[in-house]
Amino acid sequence: MTRLLALAAALVASLVFTGLSMAQEPLRVDVTRGNLDPLPIALPDFAGESEEALSRGSDITRVVTNDLASSGLFAPIDPAAYIEDIENIDLRPRFSDWRVIDASALLVGSVTIQDDGRLVVAFRLWDTRLEEQLLGLQYRTAPENWRRVAHKVADAVYQRLTGEEGYFNTRIVYVAEGRGIEGEPLRQLAIMDQDGANPSFLTDRSYMALLPNYSPNSQEITYVSFLEGQATTYLYDLETGRQEALFSSAMRSAGLDPDGQSLSARFSPDGESLAVSVETRSGHDIHLYDLRTRSLDRLTQHPADDVEPSFSPDGERIVFSSSRGGGSQLYTMNRDGSDVQRITFGNGRYTTPVWSPRGDLIAFTKQSGGTFSLGVVRADGSGIERILFEGYFVDTPAWSPNGRVLLFTRGEPRTDGTRYEIWSVDLAGFNLRRLATGGMASDPAWSPLIE
């Protein structure tokens, strides 16, 4: 009898132990499946000693909460459920208070305003089951940069819990679409934080601006401008607002019509050259532009239109779309134009290829029958394509810097014409969300992570 009891006790103990060891696996969010089971996280307002610090603390918490929720990987818990009031982040939280409301992770923080006005934002990320600190950091910054710091906190939490770099401290350049007094289309470049904050225009209403792309150091963009009547590639310095037509003289020296079209130019990963489609006598061909020597080298020579080039992250290859096979399909080639390989073979028109920052995938738009879709295909053309979104109209995919999320232009028919908005979707095809632009918008360009 006692032996039996002992055995039972041992069994129970082992069960309890197994249960414990399962619970003690470190917190981890799988970015490829996280949407199915978002991680419950508590984010009480960051503490502060003064009213001003408290108010900034709650601003920061709001931004961090919104960032994490927008990824679809985290499920912030309603603050009304919180039991413990966090006043000092240097004391260990009462973990049972957080476990009982099902918070697996707890982010606590504080804001201190220094005598010189600068902010010190400190935070600790806790695993409530292991009762362990996962992360403890502080940032010191000018007071007007509080949003940047909030995004950095969100990026740090995302990185600690997913193992992947975050993408919250980023900006987005896009085309704000509108109509003028006489109904004429307006397309102005605009810039905003990834969460929609701090929007401003980069160009005015007097000419159309389209198809922006970021430089690897986030300081410049290229875009297509109608300032001179014809679609022309421009380089725009985001710090100074200075801009210049890039290729006019290079096109002349290359024997091309200097007034011909030049389209959307994308930077090589080292920032030293651009790949661009330029109008030639026989159509459009991909060219490589050296930003130092300011020379244009022709990479493709096909009578069909070759457009929309995009570099691989190692800078060795370029993907582009071409009508050389009849309908538009996607091709890759070496950066000197050699070794051209077709990578899509499906029915329909494939356009807008963009190489993932991770290197393995290429995002594209596909037009088939009456519908458009956003998809990804392996960069070597093997395997089958994966469709992430299907709808009335899709254009201009843009990768998050960590290659986990895509922004794209989405069009929906309305009685007064098609309405264009920017939407995001993750690589698993989940978490479809509208980007918080003021009005109609298109052509997103996602900045690298801001240092």
Our CA dihedral for 409, 413, 415, 421, rounded to 10 degrees, sits at -20
Three-state SS at 152: helix
Element (H, E) at 252: helix 248-253
Stretch that binds another protein, among 34-42, 53-61, 95-103, 304-312 (CB under 8 A): 304-312
Q: Please report whether residue 395 would count as binding another protein according to CB under 8 A.
A: yes
**Closest distance between another protein and the C-beta of residue 196, in Å?**
23
Q: Please identify which residue in 135, 231, 245, 340 interacts with another protein, judged by CB under 8 A.
A: 231
Stretch that binds another protein, among 9-17, 101-109, 192-200, 388-396 (CB under 8 A): 388-396
**Closest distance between another protein and the C-beta of residue 185, in Å?**
6
Q: Please report whether residue 325 would count as binding another protein according to CB under 8 A.
A: no
Nearer Cβ to another protein (152/187)? 187
What is the token pair recorded at 13? 């103990």
Which among 356, 357, 358 has a CA at the least distance from the CA of 376? Answer: 356
Q: Please report whether residue 210 would count as binding another protein according to CB under 8 A.
A: yes
Three-state SS at 60: helix
Nearer Cβ to another protein (76/411)? 411
**Closest distance between another protein and the C-beta of residue 422, in Å?**
13
Stretch that binds another protein, among 123-131, 238-246, 301-309, 355-363 (CB under 8 A): 301-309
Q: Please identify which residue in 163, 325, 346, 413 interacts with another protein, judged by CB under 8 A.
A: 413
Is residue 47 classed exposed, middle or buried when 0-12, 13-18 and 19+ CB atoms within 10 A define those classes?
A: buried
What is the token pair recorded at 396? 């201009």
**Closest distance between another protein and the C-beta of residue 364, in Å?**
10
What is the token pair recorded at 257? 């019509």
**Closest distance between another protein and the C-beta of residue 231, in Å?**
5
Q: Please report whether residue 352 would count as binding another protein according to CB under 8 A.
A: yes
Q: Please report whether residue 356 would count as binding another protein according to CB under 8 A.
A: no
**Closest distance between another protein and the C-beta of residue 47, in Å?**
48
Q: Please report whether residue 349 would count as binding another protein according to CB under 8 A.
A: yes
The C-alpha atoms of residue 289 and residue 156 are separated, in whole angstroms, by 37
The C-alpha atoms of residue 283 and residue 289 are separated, in whole angstroms, by 18
Binding to another protein in span 252-281, by CB under 8 A: 259, 261, 263-264, 277, 279
Q: Please report whether residue 353 would count as binding another protein according to CB under 8 A.
A: no
Q: Please report whether residue 410 would count as binding another protein according to CB under 8 A.
A: no
Contacts of 265 (CB under 8 A, 6+ apart): 213, 222, 233, 246, 274, 275, 276, 289
Nearer Cβ to another protein (126/311)? 311
Strands 393-399, 266-267: pairing is unpaired
Q: Which amino acid is at 399?
A: W
The C-alpha atoms of residue 445 and residue 439 are separated, in whole angstroms, by 17
Three-state SS at 342: strand
Three-state SS at 228: coil
Q: For 316, left (φ over 0), alpha (ψ -120 to 50), or beta?
A: alpha
Q: Please identify which residue in 84, 226, 302, 315 interacts with another protein, judged by CB under 8 A.
A: 226
Q: Please report whether residue 321 would count as binding another protein according to CB under 8 A.
A: yes
Q: Please report whether residue 180 would count as binding another protein according to CB under 8 A.
A: no
Residues contacting another protein: total by CB under 8 A: 45
Q: Please report whether residue 440 would count as binding another protein according to CB under 8 A.
A: no
Q: Please report whether residue 229 would count as binding another protein according to CB under 8 A.
A: yes
Contacts of 403 (CB under 8 A, 6+ apart): 356, 357, 358, 361, 427
Q: Please report whether residue 149 would count as binding another protein according to CB under 8 A.
A: no
Contact status, residue 260 vs residue 273, Cβ threshold 8 Å: no
DSSP summary character for residue 27: P
Give the footprint of another protein on this chain (CB under 8 A). 183-185, 187, 208, 210-211, 224, 226, 229-231, 259, 261, 263-264, 277, 279, 283-284, 305, 307-308, 321, 327-328, 349, 351-352, 365, 367, 369-370, 393, 395-396, 411, 413-418, 442-443
